[in-house]
Amino acid sequence: MKSAGEDTQRGPVLEASGVTMRFGGLTAVDGVDFTVGEREIVGLIGPNGAGKTTFFNCLTGMYVPTAGRVTYRGTPLSGKPHLVTKTGIARTFQNIRLFPNMTALENVKVGRHCRTTVGALSALVRGPKYRREERETEARARELLDFVGLADTSDGLARNLSYGDQRRLEIARALASDPGLLLLDEPTAGMNPQETQQTKDLVFKIRERGLAVVVIEHDMRFIFTLCDRVAVLVQGRKLTEGSPGEVQRDERVIAAYIGTPAGSEQS
């Protein structure tokens, strides 16, 4: 798969520096620096309300950060989600956002929209260019449904899919925009252990296609066996980051999860 922006720039895929997001008096994300390299799988963990989803929203143009800078392969990002998608960042949502009354195939085709070029007039009269692009879009959507393991359900309505399959469908839809970076917000929430394992295998396969991936997840086993690197957010700030082994051993991380200030427990 040729990713958006590939070959245009060396260096990190994503570089966020000093990203801050305030809502009135609440600082949900506080001066976060975060870098993702080519083909890296990076975990973003932290307790509920730590600012993980808000940080994703700052990366994808859903929020314009109060302060800070985000670049994708060296290009500063605009504050408009559809432009960010076109630049090369795709995402899935913590709360699944599909078109429930459209088929699985149609949902993936919608995800391809930012890569189609045909003008309104050609679409209206269904000219040759429109028909060719439509065929390509459909072929690509079917290939992606097959890739995520949903080839057999392509004509079923999204709302009739199991929860796990809906999450997989969201990934297919995100991939349809040909991203170079995929952001997954709790991709295994509500999944059984077998589906979680399949999702892990799928993320590895996505990396093999040349993408970098950032994953928010509360399932630590999933995170620590999947990611090359893990960053920990606590109350909007990056507490630490490192290899899964380093983060797992870090007492501050354990303390943050159980709500005990680090160092407050005497041995």
Ligand X SMILES: Nc1ncnc2c1ncn2[C@@H]1O[C@H](COP(=O)(O)OP(=O)(O)OP(=O)(O)O)[C@@H](O)[C@H]1O
- Amino acid code (one letter) for 18: G
* Residue 54: contacted member of ligand X, Mg ion, none (CB under 5 to 8 Å, by partner type): ligand X
CB of 119 to ligand X, least distance (A): 36
Asked whether 99 and 106 are in contact (CB, 8 A), the reply is yes
CB of 45 to Mg ion, least distance (A): 11
Distances (CA, A) of 229 to 93, 202, 218, 265: 21, 18, 15, 28
Q: Which is nearer to ligand X, 46 or 164 (CB)?
A: 46
Asked whether 239 and 256 are in contact (CB, 8 A), the reply is yes
Q: Which contacts of 25-28 are long-range, i.e. CB under 8 A and separated by 24 or more positions?
A: 27/236, 28/54, 28/236
* Residue 197: contacted member of Mg ion, ligand X, none (CB under 5 to 8 Å, by partner type): none
Asked whether 26 and 209 are in contact (CB, 8 A), the reply is no
- Nearest C-alpha neighbor of 40 from the set 257, 244, 245: 244
Query: Could you say which residues in the range 46-85 bind ligand X, by CB under 6 A?
Result: 46, 48-54
CB of 53 to Mg ion, least distance (A): 3
Interface with ligand X (CB under 6 A), residue total 12
Report the SS3 class of residue 231: strand
Interface with Mg ion, residue 53, by CB under 5 A: yes
CB of 24 to ligand X, least distance (A): 7
CB of 47 to ligand X, least distance (A): 7
Q: Which is nearer to ligand X, 4 or 58 (CB)?
A: 58
Interface with ligand X, residue 163, by CB under 6 A: no
Q: Which is nearer to Mg ion, 52 or 207 (CB)?
A: 52
Q: Which is nearer to Mg ion, 35 or 94 (CB)?
A: 94
Interface with ligand X, residue 31, by CB under 6 A: no
* Residue choice 11, 18, 23, 246 for contact with ligand X (CB under 6 A): 23
Residue with tokens 């429930």: 100
Task: Measure the CA dihedral 173/174/177/181, to 10°.
Answer: -160
Interface with ligand X, residue 168, by CB under 6 A: no
What track of x and - describes contact with ligand X for positions 86 through 125 (by CB under 6 A)? --------x-------------------------------
DSSP characters for 160-197? Answer: GS-HHHHHHHHHHHHHTT--SEEEEESTTTT--HHHHH
Per CB under 5 A, residues contacting Mg ion are 52-53, 94
